[in-house]
Copies of this chain bind each other. A is one copy, B any other.
Amino acid sequence: MATSPSAKRQKSSKDVSYELIYWPGLPGRGEHVRLALEEAGAEYTDTAHIEDGIKTVLAQIDDKNLGDEHNPPPLAPPILKHGDLVISQTPNILLYLGPRLGLAPKVSEDDDAIYQVNGLVLTALDGLSNEAHDTHHPVATGLYYEDQKEESKRRARDYIENRLPKFFGYFERVLKSKASGEGPWLHGGSLTYADLVLFQCLDGLKFAFPNALKRLEGSGEYKGLFELYDAVKERPKIKEYLASERRQKYGEGIYRHYPELDEEASS
């Protein structure tokens, strides 16, 4: 029986490894994609570790890029290329990868769990990644931190005093909900990519605000949250990855350590 050329193209195009297109030099938003690929032991390439990889990033987000017949151009990395498919936006890439990597239930008429996982991821990225970034860039992403330092101090104080407890309290509550199931995970009693996202957010926050995070962890109010953090960190493949050179150091990215934005160390 003849296969239509387009169906054939589609099939063969997915029988290839994943290509992560992201800035070299810092974990950034790309890290959420890496952790999912690493946990699953998937084959992938990463422009952060390819010579001149940055040129691939720049070509994708160039003003002249008009995408192609199926793919609109992306605005910003992370970008995932998988065969003919090119998609962007961190939660969107994870939504695509999750079921394929066994890190989320498949989308189907009978199972809506993917929407719970996606919802938790969107909330974690809103509060613990985007808002963390805004603590050092409250006025303009195009300006240096030094040009918005006073505003940053006000914003960081509010973030530590009000926003972190709000989001930590929320995820602690999710972990106590029946829907989280057995074990340390957020949803359905098994590891999903939402757990990996929350891990990475907590890891970045520990780097950016070590004093605040130490106090919050020590309070005992967010026991489930920090247990999840430890449980992800101990996953054999994640552990191996974090110790490898593929894991990049924090720097001038989302999570930055400016001591003046953290709280004082408690005695």
A72 touches which one: B88, B122, B154, B186 (CB < 8 A)? B186
Query: Which parts of A113-139 form the interface with B (CB within 8 Å)?
Result: 113, 115-116, 118-120, 122-123, 130, 134, 138-139
Contact at A151–B169, with CB atoms within 8 Å?
A: no
Q: Which of A85, A87, A89, A167 has the most CB of B within 10 A?
A: A89
Interface residues on A, range: 35 or more
Contact at A118–B95, with CB atoms within 8 Å?
A: yes
Tell me the complex Cα distance, A177–B173, Å: 44
Query: Which parts of A23-72 form the interface with B (CB within 8 Å)?
Result: 63, 65-72
A177 touches which one: B73, B113, B119 (CB < 8 A)? B73
- Known: A73-B174, A139-B158. Contact between A63 and B169, CB under 8 A? yes
Give 12 new A-B contacts, CB below 8 A, not counting A68-B178, A69-B178.
Answer: A63-B173, A66-B176, A70-B179, A71-B116, A72-B174, A75-B167, A92-B119, A139-B151, A140-B155, A140-B162, A142-B158, A148-B154
